[in-house]
Chain A
């Protein structure tokens, strides 16, 4: 699936460049895209380093465990494959809470830690497990309570009421999150059916 999409993006793009005469821009795009990717990763170093350091303290202090106990009844239903009191649960919960407050920078390291734990739960295979797909679905739908960036842009362009879209955003994310969970379940049961 990923392989096909990846190659198609290139091939279709290159064919179009040939027809449209945009080969010039495409040449530039190749290096620009690579540079942008590295820039993002370098930018991630600062955030990842700081938050993973802090999260280690939180883990050692038992904060992650406490938080996951608190919210376990709800999230357990979402991730039925994760054993009780497993550290993955704590990371998933911190990832979700950070996303809710629009703290994308803080959410990423915790999401990655959660993935790491899920991978070891899955025997270290390079294959996405059921819980990994669920975590990803919840993240791409991204439950948001405070869309900070958008509010900033609206202020910049002189909105009368920059925060008036908070309510609609919460509703829309609630719908997309619910949708993501349902779609995820649908694909999971379809996989199960095929296997038997």
Chain B
């Protein structure tokens, strides 16, 4: 699997080279065009701030107050009955809420159980297979000023749930 790391390493530089060469061939004024497009990035980043501050403060308060832990302990018995290992439950619940939180929890699980244990492999798969729904929602909609989100949140969270169950089932079949 050495090629995987090689491919990832070459990916971004290759994309940059292709874009710049194609631009030159098509006689695009590359540098001016770059600056013109890049300006947009600055204002866009600033426009995301209010959305992300609102979301992250709420999530941090919810987590630090102990409320998140309480709700996890409430539904833990039900999840365990469904065959979901208890150690993985906090990760599954925090994954849609906080990217850095989930990453920290994944490292923690891998450190405690070992990367090649069942929990370690499950945590790795789960971390890699879903994205932080709240972050994606906030950043993507925030940047272009969408306030009425419709069914987006429900769809995103249900997709996460499917990802969690898919991870558990697939890792169980492959590694057990």
Contact = CB atoms under 8 A, between A and B. Distances in A.
Interface of A: 1-2, 5-6, 9-10, 12-17, 20, 22, 25-26, 28-30, 32-34, 36-38, 40-42, 44-45, 47-63, 101-104, 106, 108-109, 111-112, 115-116, 119, 126-128, 132-133, 135-137, 139-142, 144, 146-151, 153-154, 156-169, 171-173, 175-177, 179-180, 183-184, 187-188, 191
Given A52-B38, A157-B114, A159-B116, A179 B130 contact: no
Which interface residue of B60, B127, B137 has the most chain A CB atoms within 10 A?
B60
A44 B49 CA distance: 10
A53 B37 contact: yes
Which interface residue of A17, A22, A168, A184 has the most chain B CB atoms within 10 A?
A168
Contacts of A168: 121, 125, 167, 170-171, 174-175
Contacts of B144: 112, 115-116, 119
Contacts of A156: 107
Contacts of A176: 129-130, 159-160, 162-163, 166
B8 A153 contact: no
Interface string B28-40: 1010011111111
A128 B23 contact: no
20 contacts: A10-B62, A17-B65, A33-B60, A36-B60, A41-B49, A48-B42, A53-B36, A56-B33, A58-B23, A60-B23, A63-B18, A101-B8, A108-B139, A112-B139, A116-B143, A126-B145, A132-B141, A132-B152, A165-B124, A165-B125
A40 B55 contact: no
- The prevalent SS among residues of B at the interface is helix
Nearest to B166: A175
Given A153-B106, A157-B110, A171-B170, A50 B38 contact: yes
Given A15-B67, A115-B140, 12 more contacts: A1-B153, A37-B52, A62-B26, A126-B148, A133-B150, A136-B152, A136-B156, A150-B128, A159-B120, A167-B174, A179-B166, A183-B158
B56 A34 contact: yes
Which interface residue of B120, B148, B152 has the most chain A CB atoms within 10 A?
B152
A45 B150 contact: no
B141 A115 contact: yes
- The prevalent SS among residues of A at the interface is helix
Interface in B80-118: 96, 100, 103, 106-107, 110-111, 114-116
A67 B14 CA distance: 16
Interface string B57-87: 1111111111100100000000000000000
Given A56-B37, A149-B127, A29 B61 contact: yes
B116 A137 contact: no
Contacts of A32: 60
A148 B11 CA distance: 12
Given A16-B65, A171-B170, A51 B158 contact: no
A13 B67 contact: yes
A146 B146 contact: no
B135 to A, nearest CB: 8
A57 B33 contact: yes
